[in-house]
Chain A
C-alpha cells in the first residue's frame, strides 16, 4: 500500500491508501476519494483545477514537466510547493507525502 496524507480546503487531514501498481495519477485518486476538485481538462495540465500544495515529500517527486510549469507559472497563488495533481503519478515516492488542496 502507498499511504499519504490529504488536507482538504477546510483543513481536515485524512490518510489516503492506494494499492501499489495502480496506474493512476493523484488527481484521479483524489476524485475517486470524492474530494471536490473539478479537473476540468481531465489531466492535460491545462486548467489547474487540481492544484495542490505539497507540504511534505516534494523532494521525492519527479520535477514538473514543461507543460506543468507553463500552467503553474500563470497561476496567481502558485508557490514553489505547488503542483498539479494530474501530473503526479501514483507510486511509492508518494509514501509519507502531505498534500493540501489549493483553494478554488
Chain B
C-alpha cells in the first residue's frame, strides 16, 4: 500500500474520532483506486488506524480481502458502481442522527451548509445497512446528493477524495449542531438567504 494513501486514511480517521463523529469502533471509509477498493478493516478503530487496517479488494471481483473488509463493503462497492464517487466517508454524526429520527430531509439553516449541501435526504430500509436493498437505495440517492443520512444510523458522503467527503460530513454535523442551538434559543428565525425556498426543493 502506498504510504501516502495510509497517511490520508490515518489523518481523516483520526479527525473523525476527535470530532466525535464516530464511536471507538464505528464508521468506515474507502477510496476507489481504479478497479480496486481500499476500505477500513472490519472492527478497526478509525481513530487509531494502522497500515494493516487498510484492506484492498476488487471493486467487483471478490478476493481474500473481503474476509477482512468492513461489513459495509457491499454498500461502498454499490456506491462506486452507481455514482461517480472516488471516496466515501461513513460516520455517525450525533446531531444529524438526532434530526434524522424525525425528518425525511435535513434542510440547513446556516450559511455554510446551505451553500455547500442545500439539502440532505434521510432514507431508511427495513433491513440492516449492509443489505443489498439498502445499498441500492443509498447509491441511487447518492447519484443526486453528495451526502445522505440513514435514519438513526449515520451519514454516507461521497467525493473525489476522502478530504472532500469528510468536508461534507463535518459540514452536515456542524449545521445540525447550529440548528440544535437555534432551537434552544427558541427565537423567531430571520431569513437572511436569497431564494432560500429553493433549498428544500433541491
A and B bound? no
Question: Residues on B close to A: CB < 8 A?
Answer: none
Question: Residues on A close to B: CB < 8 A?
Answer: none
